Each structure stands twice: as C-alpha cells, then as structure tokens.
Structure 1
C-alpha cells in the first residue's frame, strides 16, 4: 500500500466519523420525538407545571340585627427591587412621586429609604398599607422593579366592642379566642388550587386556560349579640369599675326563655385588631373562665331546695344572735350586720348567713348537692365559647362537717359567671334551664342557612309551684328593705340576689372581696337575666351597692330600648333632666369638643394652649348638674392618630336629632334615626372608629310635658 492509498484511507475513516455524528443526532431526535415523546412530555409537565393555593375568604360575623362585627380587608404593600432588569433611577423616582401623591409623605422620603438601604437589597418596603387608588396608579406603571403585594387581614369594625366574644386571629388568619376559635374550621373555609407554569428561574406565571379548583369560602356566623345592649353593658361596666375602683369585672345579659346571650362584657378589655398591644390577661374571658366562690348569690340553690323539700315555712321566725355571730362546728358564722328576728322572706332579702345555714342543715347533704347539680353547678354550660371551666362542686362523701352550712351561703363551691347566669335564667323561666349560646345561625356566602341553633332546654330544676312561691321573696331583695336597693328601677319589677364573697388566696381567706348581683326583669314576664361581678371593689365590699348599681344602669338603658317594657314604665325613670352624663372629649380637636358640648347644653372652661383636648374633669361617664362646667386642658398631640378615611364616633347621648346630624355630617358620617326627640342611645359607641360614609344609628325619645315642666322648674 503506497502512501497515497494510506492517506485516502485515513480521510475516508475521518469522513465516516464526521457523518456518524449527524446520524447519531438524527437517531436521538427520532428517539426523543417518536419513541420517548410521551414520557418526556410528562416529565417536562411535572417540572414546569405547579399549583398555588387560592385563598378562601374567612366568613363574616354579624350581630343579631345584621351589623357586621368582623370581616376581611385587604392591605396593599409596596416595595421595590432596585436591581431588577431594566430598572433605572428614573423608575424609582416615578414610584416615589406616585406614592407621595396618595400618602402625603414627600417623594424625597421614599428616595431616602431606597438610598439608605443596603446596596445588595432586592426588597425594599416603601409602604405597608396604601389606598386602593395608589395601588391602581402604581399597577399602571408596569415597572419590573416595582413589587405590589396583597395582604388579607381580619378587621373588627367596632374595635373593642364584644372583643371577648369575637376573639381574634393570628398571622395565619386562624382563630385564637372567642367565636373565631370555636368556629374556626367553619369560618376559614377551604383553599382552592390554581395551576401555573414555572420558568428555569423558578418564577411563576399564570397561563390562559389553566385548570383551577375554586375555594370553598368560609361560612358566616349570625350571633345572638345585640350590639346596642352590648355597647350599653360595656359602657356601664367600665364606668362602674372605675367608679368603684375594682380590679376587673364581668357582666352578661341573656334571654332566659331561649338561652341567647345578648351581651357579654369584661373590663379591662382589648382591641382584637391589635391584640398583642395589651397585656394577655386582658384577653381572658372571665365570664366563662373565672372560677369563683359566689357568696350569697348561691343562696338561690338553698332556697329552692328548702322550699321544694318542705323544710321551711314562710311564716317561720328565725332568731339571729344580737351580735350577728354564731358557732357552727367550731367555726364562726357571721351576718353582715345584726339582723334580729326574720321570717323566711327576710332571711333572703336581708341575706342572713346564719339563718340560711340553719335552714340548709335541715337538708341531707345529698339533697343540697343534687339541687346544686341540677341547677348546673359543677358541670360546663356548653356555651359555644372556648376555655369554659367546669367549676367545682364536691360530692357529699368529700364534705367536711362544715361544708353543708358554708356551701349553702356560697363557700366551698366554685362557679363561673356563666353558670350563675344560667341558674338565675332557669329561675326566671319557671324552672326551665336553657343552654346558653352565642350563634343563632350559620349561612354560606350566598346567604343560605347551613345550620340553625334551636333553644335547648337542659332540664327542669324545680317545680313551677316552687318557683312561683320564691319569686316574691327574691323580688323583695331589690327593695328598700333588701340588700339590693341600689339595683332597683322605679316602675320596673326586678328580682335577684346580691353576693359578697371573701377571696381565697393561697389557701387562706384574705381581707379582699368579690361583689356580685344576679337578677332579671320584668318579673311578670322576664325578658332579660343579668349577672354582674366586680373583683375587689374599693368603695364598698357589698354587691348591692357596687354590682347592683351597675345592674341598675344597664337595666334602665335596656328598658329604654325595649318598646314593650318602656310602654309599661313611668316615663320619669328615663327623663333627661338637669343631671347630665359627661361625654368623652379627650383627644378631640377643640372645635369638635366645643360643638359636642354645645349640643349637650354643657359649658366648659379652657386652660393651656394647643388644638387638642388632652385632659378633662370630670372624666367621661360621670353625672353632673346641667349648670356645672367641665374643665378642659388643651395641648398638642399626634394629629394622624386616626387612620385616613376613618372618623371617631362622638358621644351623641342627650343631644337632639338635629345637633347629632350636624356633628356626624361634619365628620363624614351618615345618620339613621329611630324615634325622635332626645337621643337615648347610639350604635356604634362613642370613641369607636368608623369608616367615613357609613351610618351611625341613634334612638331618640321625646320628653313628656310633665318631664319638660320638671326640667324647667329645676332650672
């Protein structure tokens, strides 16, 4: 083989190798497209197709009349990425200028935020909450370096109103307390799914025709809460706690015929829109979670057991010691005062511990225990709120020699306020004990009823004849000769019982007390049963003076709302005479304060300099004579304490409809009037924040000619 042949051989070998590569490529293309195409397409689909959740909207919570208590709102957050492709300094300046037009901050402020951030930062937050108009204008810019995010949050429209009933949600929008927690699974709904595509940088893109599974929106709760009664209860409870200098308190109002809770209030309270801003103890719902020794309110159990078992005669006279003390099994039993000789009605009306324990010791321990058990003590009420305690009711085999007499007056037993309310509700309802509940019905997003709560009778606690015999006895408590004279309302028949209980701390009774009052009205046809509890009041330890006076204020205002009760009352109980309630004006602009006081025919003296009221005396809630003057101190404060688009609700009580309309319209709010004349109550409450353009409802009541004459004479 010559040299030329060898060279040609090598050339053909090289050409063969060169042609082999395209052939291999063609073969691979054939294999990929024809033989393995389905498998590879499926693999590509798995790698580039993904799903993202479509958030379900949390259900709304309404009061009994349809007012929206809790709903959802959207926050729009704006941020920038200075290093995004094609992002220039002009783009960032344009974003700053657009933001400045909507927020009131200067464009230089946002430019400084960007310039002062780390040079490597690719996520610089400029605003955490912007108006919808700003979001729309920024969206039209189309800059790649602009980041707009939607953040859903829970909004409680009336601030702290019914906070312990509603509860709040965490950052995942899961309910933590109250109804938000009890009904969390129903409120939150079920998230949907949206199919999307991802590029090689793992960025997500939506595409036309992508399949999706729509979310199942959360269900809505329609509660039994009456927002008017709730607002009244909270206002009077707060005012009473401050007046009597108590540590805390609770008040609950219920319909005894159904068990529907009309109001549930605790003070101190909190704002569920910002629950972390206050001590966690203020979020505790004392109404269902606080176990207390009730004191004399528990004498209802002893009275019912004794009368039904026939161990007491209404005409029997009980002789109590002259010094108000007696020894029972080596322990001293005391009355609050020497009470002398008493019949059975007097024993209850004057709350004699000595005579009550004497009556109780005629009963077998098992009998008193069974009546207490039948009246709901020692077992939960099963109200639809979380963290309810069972209370503590010892079985007779656990009792000591002194348990029976001391339990008969409300010691050596622990109850919750809701249990005491349920027991007095049964007393008011001819012995039929109803389960208390908060949610009337549940609806879907279209308003269809998913579930309806029916009133649930737990048991009959006693014979109707027993209840009828005892009603006049407990009505006598709320009289001048009883311990609850401070709870009486002229013209309104009220029955109830006071309670004063020494506190057990670290196993020893201390010189501190809880004061309470449980009652219902009107006695002839009870529509409202109420329990009020104060912890360590300092003006007096007695429930009649402290809790009873709060009961009176709440009952008076509720009676004014209830047309049926109001028609049966003497109008003088609700007259707007020359005794006026001082409104809350702290934090108001001086002109708003002047307009508010003028509308209530009140005068003021001013001191200090500035545009805002920083101090007032007397404080809000106190009652003064119409010719008294309010002392106001002016100063400076943050003018932007009220969010944009919101207004603070003024105190409209005692104003006429025209004055209230003028004041509300000046704040950008609408007004709905019920009745005429002088405003008696309002919703929302004074001090709440409300979005401008929404409606404040007021109820008015015209003065009678007799009342007008009385007021004119006093002047």
Structure 2
C-alpha cells in the first residue's frame, strides 16, 4: 500500500508539473479570458482643418449601450427600460439581453442626453461607453477630395484614407474582473487604458476659395446643361491646392445615398454589386481619376518644348489656310477659313492648329516624347489623394506623322486635369515640376505642429528663360487673343483656352476648358475649369474663360494680390463692368441696336435672325470690353 500511495503521489507531482510548466501559459490565458471582461474605448479620430484652421471633418461624441448577460439581475425589467429609452422593440432587446455572450451591443450611436438618462437608472450589467461619429460641417464641400470613413472609423476614399495613419488614434480598453459565472468581483474595480486621440491634418485647401469655386462650377454647368465639370485652383510655385471642385458631388454625412434622382427611384431594384458601381462613380474625383483629351490647353507643352529646343522663335511666321495636309490626311484648323500669315505668338493667341502641327513635326517624335516624359505625362503626379490615373499615350514606335501632328494640338493623347495643371505650372514657374498636394501639417490636439509634410520638386524641365517667355506669350493670349474674356484690368492674367472634341468625333460632343494664372510676372495662383458636354455654345474661351475671370476678380484681392493698372488701362474707358441685358428671343437687328446703345460688342454664331442662346446670361456682370456671344437660328 505504501508503494501504491508513493506511486500515486509521484504521478500527481508529474501531473502538476505538466500542468504548471507545459500547459501553464495556455491555462493562464484561458483563466484570464474567463475572469477578465474587456471593452474597447474608441479613440477620437483627428480633425481635418483648412489652411486657416476651419474644421472640415471632426468626430462628435456619441455613446454605445451594451449589456453583460451574467450581470443582469432583472432581464425583463432591463429590456423594458432600454426599449423605452432607445425607442426599440421590447422583444428584440430582451432577446439580445438573454444571449449568453460576454458582451452584447444593444444600440450604437446614442446621443449623450439619452445615455445619461439610462445611466441614471443604475441598471446592473448595462454598460455605457463613449465612442465617436464622423461629422462633416460643410456637408458636400470638396466631397470627392476630403472623402469619408466607414463604420469602423477608417478612411474609405479621399484624404481620409490617405492620411489614415495620422488621423486614426489608438483605441483604449476597460478591463473588469469577474468570477467563474461572469459576475463582477466586488472591491476590485475597473482597469482603464485611456485611448489616444488621433492627430489633426491641416490642408492647403481654403474653405472660402473652395466654396466659391463650387458655386461657379455648379452655375456654369446648369447654365450649359452640361454632364459634369471640374475646377482646380493651385499655387503653381509649390503645388499647394487651394480648391478642387467636382460636380455633381454628394453629402459626406450621407455618402451611401445616390445623388441621381432617376437612379434613386430604382435603387431597391438594383443588385448590391450594381449599387456599389453607381456609388463608386458618384465618389470619383474627375480631377485625378479620369483622363481626357485636353485639346488646345496642351499647346502650352508643345510651345514650351519647341522654344526649349529652339525649333521656333517668337518672330517665326506661319501661314494658315484653314487646314494642313499631313501624310494623306487633311487636318482642319478651328477657323476653317484660315488665319492667314501670322507669327508664332499670334499662332498661340489664335490657337491655330496648323502652327502646332508644324512645331510637332519640327521636334520630331523622339524629341516630342522626350518632353512628354520630362513633363511626366507617363507617371502619376504624386498628389496625396488616392486613385490617381496615368496619362494614355501611343507607343513611340506607333507614332506616325498624323499621330504626331494631332498630339501637337492636344488630340490623340489622354491625360488627367491634374497632370495638365502640373505640367502647365512647370511651364510658367521657371521650369520646376512640383508635386500637387493638400497636406501641409500634422498637428496635435493643441495645434502644435508635429510634422511638416514635404513633397518633391524636380527642377529644370525647361529653362527659366523659356518659362519667362511662355508667361509673356500666354499673357498675350488673354490681353489680345482667344482668352480675352478672362482679361481683368489691373491684373496680369495669362492663360489658354481649349475646346476638345470627344470620341467618337461624330458625336459632336466637347469638353470646354480654360487654364489661367496670375500675375503673369510672378504666378501665384493657377486655375483650370472644365465643362463636359456643354449644350449650345461650347467654346472654351466663351464658356470657361469668363468664369475663371470672375473667380480671379474675387480671389486675387483675397490672396493679397493688388491690382496694378497700366497707363493705357487708366486712360481708357474700358475699365469696369456692366450688367448683361437679356437678348433671348430678340431679332439680330434688335440685339445689335441694344449692344450699340449699351456700348458692348456681339460675337455672333449660327445663321438666322432670332437669338436662341446668349452667353454670359442676363444679369451677369462682365468687363466693359468683353463680348456677349449670341447664337442665331
């Protein structure tokens, strides 16, 4: 018997050793999980603020109501109170309370007033924890750019996802010690690990400039019954973006509600996959996600390359007969009757296609492509908003004389609006290829700068001399050429118009655009406006240039750029504005008489006797020397 007892004791020692040493960590972990109840304390996501500290995205405090089944004394009474205070179904609440799980959420996103009423009941087993809901004070402002977060408070699109690592913060925890039945052990209390709030992201975007860009974009799109549009405003010296407007947009506080009324009526009939496709289209940022044929604004690049390679001088002359035959193809100019003999500068002012086809031929495909790569149309711009597209170009070996000619004036190549802005900035800022961006600083909750965000600049794309020449040439486009409707007395405005025909060409659909910058001598701001498929009058110089002028008239003083009038402007009678009268429905002779009486000129399109369309519209303020475009039928 002694031997048997000794064997049993030795066996128990081995068993204890096995349990303590071999399985000790595993069993300790199970014991901890059995006796410790953990609840997550959500960290407050950092704010997003504009250049002046105005809050664009913040996280409002809300509450989560949950229950611990084993700590509930009166399940039915607790269910009755929670259902009443939260406006929920009693049976559903009771069913949740009776689930034998460690922690059951009853209701998320409960306002503080309701949470405090429930807290006053002191219900055993009912937990009330603070969490946060993302809120966008300006609703749809810069929606595609700022982006939004999901139910887990992580960024889904836009700057919210790009800077998620800084905004997110670190969640905290509350640990409670319970007995084997899940009841809280009295006298021990809770152990709390406080959450760490996320950092604040400061942007270069300016709320005032963004709001005004969106107002003008929406107005011109509605006037022209256009499909969509984009408006980008940037500092061409350092790449800081002041505004990026897309229309249509959507409400950041309700991003899963479609903004198309026709689609909304059929929404429940669509599959989940189809719904997500439509939502993704709504969330797309036209400025960076989509490519288009830029048309004549791309002539800025062709001209810069030609001047840099010295294949053209300012006084070189060209003859435009209305078209140019390249290989076996006749390619027309926008002015089918031709521009006649003109200098290079006049060719830029007139946006003459044959001039730029000739320049492209002088450069040749190899050198032309060299500059496409120098301006990095084959790469992303590096903008700090995800989802950026890359330009689409022919392979060099597939470029013949016709392809080269059409690329020279902005066809047969597709780029994003942001790529064009970046390249045009290099053309006028001294030849430096900047990285467009919104992020400026990462701040703590007190506003102290924790990190200054830096972005690359590539110098020497073109020389400073060529860039200075391009500024002057583009300045004459506005003062004397096709961009005249962007002219502002006292300010040096440079720019380029474009009216690019969409594929297929037979559709007769266009994208109107104008790229402008100011002042010419030292560009501090650049703007690009695109209007997709305007109805009626569709020329970029007519549709977009006046809108950019109106924008500049307001934001140049806002940026501290003062007017500097020339003697000619001060002595002339064209300084100031006038209100456009209503011409619709009038005969051509009546419109001419009214224009003569009020001292403005008419730009007549179409053939007929009755004014069917006018631009700008009735009641708009325009420069005294600007023309009012009318379409006759």
Q: TM-score range by the shorter chain?
A: 0.7 to 0.9
| Residue 166 in structure 1 maps to residue 146 in structure 2 | yes
2:611 corresponds to = none
CA distance in 1, matches of 2:454, 2:96: 58
Q: How far is 1:252 from its partner?
A: 0.8
2:606 corresponds to = none
CA distance in 1, matches of 2:41, 2:125: 25
Counterparts of 1:271-670 in structure 2, within 5 Å, are: 271-278=251-258, 279-280=278-279, 281-321=281-321, 324-337=322-335, 338=337, 339-454=339-454, 456-479=456-479, 481-505=480-504, 510-565=507-562, 624=619
3-state SS, counterpart of residue 402 of structure 1: helix
Taking only aligned residues, the RMSD between alpha carbons, in angstroms, comes to 3.9
Would the aligned equivalents of 1:517 and 1:531 in 2 still touch at CA under 8 Å?
yes
| Residue 251 in structure 1 maps to residue 231 in structure 2 | yes
| Residue 53 in structure 1 maps to residue 37 in structure 2 | no
Kindly name which structure, 1 or 2, has the bigger radius of gyration based on alpha carbons. 1
Q: How far is 1:486 from its partner?
A: 2.3
Question: What do residues 454-493 of structure 1 show as CA deviations (whole Å, max 9, x unaligned)?
Answer: 45321222112212223222112113x4222222223221
Q: How far is 1:513 from its partner?
A: 1.4
CA distance in 1, matches of 2:475, 2:465: 16
Q: How far is 1:315 from its partner?
A: 2.3
| Distance change >3 Å, CA 356–CA 58, structure 1 → 2 | same
3-state SS, counterpart of residue 362 of structure 1: helix
Would the aligned equivalents of 2:34 and 2:182 in 1 still touch at CA under 8 Å?
no
Equivalent residue for 1:74, pick from 58, 61, 75: 61
| Distance change >3 Å, CA 218–CA 575, structure 1 → 2 | farther
Equivalent residue for 1:182, pick from 131, 154, 162: 162
CA distance in 2, matches of 1:325, 1:578: 38
1:225 corresponds to = 205
CA distance in 1, matches of 2:46, 2:28: 41
CA distance in 1, matches of 2:109, 2:617: 39
3-state SS, counterpart of residue 149 of structure 2: coil
1:141 corresponds to = 121
3-state SS, counterpart of residue 291 of structure 1: coil
Q: How far is 1:94 from its partner?
A: 10
CA distance in 2, matches of 1:566, 1:519: 17
3-state SS, counterpart of residue 40 of structure 2: strand
Would the aligned equivalents of 1:502 and 1:509 in 2 still touch at CA under 8 Å?
no
Q: How far is 1:442 from its partner?
A: 1.1
| Distance change >3 Å, CA 52–CA 92, structure 1 → 2 | closer
3-state SS, counterpart of residue 361 of structure 1: helix
Question: What do residues 231-252 of structure 1 show as CA deviations (whole Å, max 9, x unaligned)?
Answer: 1111111111111221111111
CA distance in 1, matches of 2:360, 2:456: 31
| Distance change >3 Å, CA 126–CA 90, structure 1 → 2 | closer
| Distance change >3 Å, CA 312–CA 277, structure 1 → 2 | same
Would the aligned equivalents of 1:221 and 1:442 in 2 still touch at CA under 8 Å?
yes
3-state SS, counterpart of residue 383 of structure 2: coil
Question: What do residues 5-64 of structure 1 show as CA deviations (whole Å, max 9, x unaligned)?
Answer: xxxxxxxxxxxxxxxxxxxxxxx9xx99xx99x979887445312544332222211111
CA distance in 2, matches of 1:292, 1:471: 25
Question: What do residues 367-410 of structure 1 show as CA deviations (whole Å, max 9, x unaligned)?
Answer: 11112221231211111110111212344323123121111011
Would the aligned equivalents of 1:556 and 1:574 in 2 still touch at CA under 8 Å?
no
| Distance change >3 Å, CA 82–CA 201, structure 1 → 2 | closer
| Distance change >3 Å, CA 463–CA 489, structure 1 → 2 | same
Q: How far is 1:509 from its partner?
A: 5.8
| Residue 64 in structure 1 maps to residue 44 in structure 2 | no
- Consecutive unaligned residues of structure 2, counting only runs of 5 or more, are 1-11, 99-103, 259-277, 582-615, 622-633
Would the aligned equivalents of 1:245 and 1:539 in 2 still touch at CA under 8 Å?
no
Q: How far is 1:211 from its partner?
A: 4.8
| Distance change >3 Å, CA 490–CA 42, structure 1 → 2 | closer
1:600 corresponds to = none
CA distance in 1, matches of 2:360, 2:228: 32
Would the aligned equivalents of 1:325 and 1:335 in 2 still touch at CA under 8 Å?
yes
CA distance in 2, matches of 1:206, 1:167: 46
Q: When the two structures are aligned, how many residues end up with a matched partner?
A: 538
Stretch moving more, 299-308 or 136-145: 136-145
CA distance in 2, matches of 1:576, 1:406: 39
CA distance in 2, matches of 1:134, 1:622: 52
Q: How far is 1:148 from its partner?
A: 5.3
3-state SS, counterpart of residue 434 of structure 1: coil
Would the aligned equivalents of 2:236 and 2:524 in 1 still touch at CA under 8 Å?
yes
3-state SS, counterpart of residue 292 of structure 1: coil
2:171 corresponds to = 191
Question: What do residues 640-670 of structure 1 show as CA deviations (whole Å, max 9, x unaligned)?
Answer: xxxxxxxxxxxxxxxxxxxxxxxxxxxxxxx
Q: How far is 1:189 from its partner?
A: 2.6
Stretch moving more, 409-418 or 470-479: 470-479
| Distance change >3 Å, CA 170–CA 206, structure 1 → 2 | farther
Would the aligned equivalents of 1:232 and 1:557 in 2 still touch at CA under 8 Å?
no
Q: How far is 1:136 from its partner?
A: 1.9
**TM-score, normalised via structure 2 length:** 0.75
3-state SS, counterpart of residue 472 of structure 1: helix
